[in-house]
Amino acid sequence: VYVQGRSAAGRDYAGLIPLGGRIEEFFGLDECTFVLWPVWSKQNDGELTTVAWFYPIWSRTAGLTEDRFRIFPFYGFAQRHGQYEKRFVMWPIWTWARYEYPASHGTGWILFPLYGRLDLSDQSSHLIFPPFIRIFHGQEVDRVDAPWPLVRIQRGRRNHFHLWPLYGQS
């Protein structure tokens, strides 16, 4: 596919997908430069710059407030300064996150497909054989999905009982 144009800023661009080129304002990206895509690409999107080799296997993203790296599916991390840090090892087997939002902070993890736990300042969850069994406790609501999506029970500011597809009440 041959792509050619002029950006809103008046810069000419062209690319022959998958051989190489530079494309601007394409698929929501500000700019994408590539050679033998998916072998190598560099993408700019606002403040973030991502370099990828053998997309989606290896990528590195950097910006003023965000950093990401991955060698998929073996290891990866994402960090948005002052908001969260997330990591995975052998995705989806082990995932971990730390949240630093002012109203809700804490950690969570999942050892898939066995168990997961989320402990935040305003809520907690246990996941057993995720996503099939979830026990959630929040400030305004308690919820049990066991097994999801067949049985859903919620108590608190709003009450639900759903036995799908036979019965439901809210």
| DSSP states along 86-104 | EEEETTTTEEEEEEE-SS-
| pTM exceeds 0.75 for this model | yes
Q: Is the pLDDT of residue 78 over 90?
A: yes
pLDDT of residue 88: 98
Share of the chain above pLDDT 90, in %: 91
Query: What average pLDDT does the structure give for the chain?
Result: 95
Model confidence band, residue 8 (pLDDT cutoffs 50, 70, 90): confident
Query: Does the structure show a pLDDT above 90 at 9?
Result: no
130: preceding bond cis by omega (within 30 degrees):
no
Q: What is the pLDDT of residues 141-166, one digit of tens each?
A: 999 999 999 999 999 999 999 999 99
Over 90: is that where the pLDDT of 27 sits? no
Which pLDDT score is estimated for 99?
A: 97
**Do residues 39 and 53 touch, judged by C-beta distance below 8 A?**
yes
Residues 6+ apart with CB under 8 A from 102: none
- CA–CA separation, 117 vs 56, rounded Å? 28
Whether the per-residue pLDDT at 26 is higher than 90: the answer is no
Omega cis (within 30) before 113: yes
Average pLDDT over residues 44-48: 92
Say whether pLDDT at 28 is over 90.
no
Residues 89-131: pLDDT tens digits? Answer: 999 999 999 999 988 999 999 999 999 999 999 999 999 999 9
The pLDDT value given to residue 56: 93
- Residues in the chain, total: 170
